[in-house]
Amino acid sequence: MNKAAVCVIQCQDYDIQNVYNAIKRGIDRLGGISSIVSPEENILLKPNLLSASLPQKAITTHPAVFEAVARILRENGCSHIEYGDSPGNPISSPYQAARAAGIAEAADKYSIMPGDFHHSKPCMKMIMHCHCAMQFCNVMLL
């Protein structure tokens, strides 16, 4: 069985540049983005969108984390990127949860569309399934 590489980088706050720098350092320590994904791959960014909640509640992936990962992927030539999740709250649609959590705004900034989970597509590589708790503000990449 292969063991997963884990890198934990402390980040003092959710300032987008600080989060970007922390995630970039973590990716570099894991061997660089090219060791994780290739520009031609279909990529699914999978933030936690448990419910339509504000980022300050720390229920969902913070939009600064999502934006930093999106930026790194775009900087490295990745163009086939979508995002999505299935909220645990049956009242919230994925789009409502993404909009409330600030994820949709970050996705729009990098022209990343919500994934269509109702129609069959080629396999996508999921490279992000992370959540940063506001209390600890550690960025962890799995």
Tens digit of pLDDT at every position of the chain (142 positions): 667 778 888 898 999 999 999 999 999 998 899 988 899 988 889 888 877 777 777 778 899 999 999 999 999 999 999 998 877 667 778 888 899 889 999 999 999 999 876 655 555 565 554 443 332 333 343 3
**How far apart, in whole angstroms, are the C-alpha atoms of residue 52 and residue 74?**
26
Task: Give me the residue spans of the domains in the chain.
Answer: 38-132
Provide the pLDDT for residue 50.
76
For 32: left if phi > 0, alpha if psi spans -120 to 50, otherwise beta; the answer is: left
Give SS3 for 127. strand
Provide the pLDDT for residue 51.
75
Provide the pLDDT for residue 135.
28
Provide the pLDDT for residue 79.
93
Structure tokens at 53: 């909640």
Provide the pLDDT for residue 137.
32
The pTM for the full model equals: 0.81
Report DSSP letters for 61-104, one per residue: --HHHHHHHHHHHHHTT---EEE----S-TTS-HHHHHHHHTHH
Provide the pLDDT for residue 124.
58
Provide the pLDDT for residue 134.
30
